[in-house]
Amino acid sequence: MKTVRFGVIGCGLMGREFASAAGRWFHLAEMDVRPEIVAACDVNPAMTAWFGAHCPACVQQTADYREVLANPDVDAVYIALPHNMHAETYCAAIEAGKHLMGEKPFGIDREANCAIMDCLAKHPDVFVRCSSESAFFAAPQRIGRMLEEGAFGRIIEVGSGFLHCSDMDANKPINWKRKLEFNGEYGAMGDLGMHACHMPFRAGWLPTRVAAALCNIVTERPDGRGGMAPCETWDNATLLCTAADGGGHEFPMTLKTHRIAPGHKNTWYLDIMGTAACARWSSKQINTLSVMEYTGGDQAWQVLDMGHETAHKSITGGIFEMGFSDSILQMWAAFLYELEHGAPVSRFAGCVTPEEAAYSHRVFTAALKSQANGSMETV
Ligand SMILES: NC(=O)c1ccc[n+]([C@@H]2O[C@H](COP(=O)([O-])OP(=O)(O)OC[C@H]3O[C@@H](n4cnc5c(N)ncnc54)[C@H](O)[C@@H]3O)[C@@H](O)[C@H]2O)c1
């Protein structure tokens, strides 16, 4: 089994999710390549110490990401830092020749994203992908297969989104994700948007026009020091887009990213309506995929239990449902598989490409313009 030696830069929530996936790599049944975490970087020493305690090969622990990039024993890096650090660190990693899994939104804004894309164009030998696990659940994978088979006919309408209620509590102290400086002007779009774009973009449905309704609902929060701090970023974004299906037809596509969505702790959803079939999935009922195939008779929905129908085989029995950490494991399997073999096992089993991430920036930038001008903007 080939080993790819990783440095993790940003050892918070997502950095540790990767460590956990790497730690149970034997869960994957047929991989011929595996990650080994040999370096950890975080300005918070408690975070790097966690890696030292839990990842046996993690011999380098540092607060300076440049030391990880200078380490010849590091083949690849996972960078899971606040958005204001993306352009600087992703470019430095690419220039150092390290393969890169970068976190979304892949640059705090379009300018930062363009800098990353320019850097990547100069270093085409470095393998770079953007993290988004939303397509790796069983139901989206099945929808992907239906799309590859052309099962939907002509697309009538698509809805894709990611809904949270994590900021419903107005007394929750502010964190970097609510601050313009660290999270960026996109707000909820930068934070959650790549997940909503992942399946539609891979299907080839790129928004051509966008009308945005952006809301800032909780305008200040406790600052954690007894005072209040302004909450500067958009809480909720609803984007009504026009997308093209590749066959010359346009259809409406709604992309929703809400941080204040009552009753939704963490809901990914995808609704596709076509002339030949429809599909509906929400991670609220993670194991359930609803499909309606129209053959001229009754229009009857079928409800399927998905079980563990994953792109990369695992030791979990096929009847057992998936969870968040399984989708993360699948995403990492997809990254390493494509790094090793040059292509994903199937179209919808590939991680988000830099080009797809770049297109999301075009959409979010047009959405900001739409909100400012009260207009529908061309993407
Ligand atoms: N794919 C997903 O589902 C998902 C979920 C949450 C967050 N994210 C993305 O992951 C990235 C990180 O988010 P998170 O939730 O893990 O954040 P986090 O706050 O939990 O972790 C970020 C870590 O970076 C460290 N850090 C900050 N500045 C640093 C610097 N200059 N050098 C080294 N370390 C530094 C912090 O100490 C912290 O431990 C963001 O881009 C976010 O959008 C992705």
Q: How far is the CA of 373 from the centre of ligand 1 (A)?
A: 32
- The tokens describing 9, both together, are 């830069």
**Distances in Å between the alpha carbon of 311 and those of 132, 151, 161?**
15, 19, 22
- The tokens describing 58, both together, are 């993690």
pLDDT at position 166 is: 86
Q: How far is the CA of 376 from the centre of ligand 1 (A)?
A: 33
Neighbouring residues of 89: CB distance < 8 A, sequence distance ≥ 6: 9, 65, 79, 81
The protein residue with its alpha carbon nearest to ligand 1, atom 24, reads 10
Atom number in ligand 1 closest to CA 47: 39
Question: Which superfamily does CATH assign the domain made up of 2-130 to?
Answer: NAD(P)-binding Rossmann-like Domain (3.40.50.720)
Please answer whether residues 102 and 352 qualify as being in contact, where contact means their C-beta atoms are separated by less than 8 angstroms: no
Q: What angle do CA 297, 303, 306 make, to 5 degrees?
A: 135
Atom number in ligand 1 closest to CA 41: 33
Beta strand extents in the chain (DSSP E only): 2-9, 33-41, 60-62, 76-79, 99-102, 128-130, 155-164, 207-215, 220-222, 228-230, 236-244, 250-258, 266-274, 277-282, 288-293, 302-305, 376-378
Atom number in ligand 1 closest to CA 44: 37
Backbone angles phi, psi at 39, to 5 degrees: -150, 145
* Residuewise pLDDT in 10s, the chain (379 residues): 999 999 999 999 999 999 999 999 999 999 999 999 999 999 999 999 999 999 999 999 999 999 999 999 999 999 999 999 999 999 999 999 999 999 999 999 999 999 999 999 999 999 999 999 999 999 999 999 999 999 999 999 999 999 999 899 999 999 998 899 999 999 999 999 999 999 999 999 999 999 999 999 999 999 999 999 999 899 999 999 999 988 889 999 999 999 999 999 999 999 999 999 999 999 999 999 999 999 999 999 999 999 999 999 999 999 999 999 999 999 999 999 999 999 999 999 999 999 999 999 999 999 999 999 999 999 9
Q: How far is the CA of 12 from the centre of ligand 1 (A)?
A: 5
pLDDT at position 196 is: 98
Domain ranges of the chain: 2-130, 134-318+352-378
pLDDT at position 101 is: 98
CA R_g for the chain: 21
Please answer whether residues 129 and 351 qualify as being in contact, where contact means their C-beta atoms are separated by less than 8 angstroms: yes
- CATH code for the part of the protein at 134-318+352-378: 3.30.360.10
pLDDT at position 8 is: 98
Q: How far is the CA of 103 from the centre of ligand 1 (A)?
A: 8
Q: How far is the CA of 112 from the centre of ligand 1 (A)?
A: 17
Using CA of residue 370, residue 372, residue 375, residue 378, what is the dihedral sign? negative
Strand partners, 94: none
Q: How far is the CA of 108 from the centre of ligand 1 (A)?
A: 13
Atom number in ligand 1 closest to CA 191: 43
Q: How far is the CA of 8 from the centre of ligand 1 (A)?
A: 11
Q: How far is the CA of 110 from the centre of ligand 1 (A)?
A: 19
For tokens 């199937």, what's the residue? Answer: 346
- The pick from 8, 9, 14, 178 for probing ligand 1's pocket by mutation, whose C-beta has the most ligand atoms within 8 angstroms, reads 14
Please give the Cα distance from 156 to 177 (Å, whole number).
35
- The pick from 11, 13, 109 for probing ligand 1's pocket by mutation, whose C-beta has the most ligand atoms within 8 angstroms, reads 13
- pTM for the predicted model, two decimal places: 0.97
Q: How far is the CA of 307 from the centre of ligand 1 (A)?
A: 31
Q: How far is the CA of 53 from the centre of ligand 1 (A)?
A: 20
Please give the Cα distance from 300 to 100 (Å, whole number).
45
- The pick from 20, 43, 131 for probing ligand 1's pocket by mutation, whose C-beta has the most ligand atoms within 8 angstroms, reads 43
The protein residue with its alpha carbon nearest to ligand 1, atom 19, reads 12
The protein residue with its alpha carbon nearest to ligand 1, atom 21, reads 12
Please give the Cα distance from 134 to 282 (Å, whole number).
11
Atom number in ligand 1 closest to CA 10: 24
Pocket of ligand 1 (CB under 6 A): 10-14, 41-44, 47, 65, 80-83, 85, 103-104, 131-133, 191
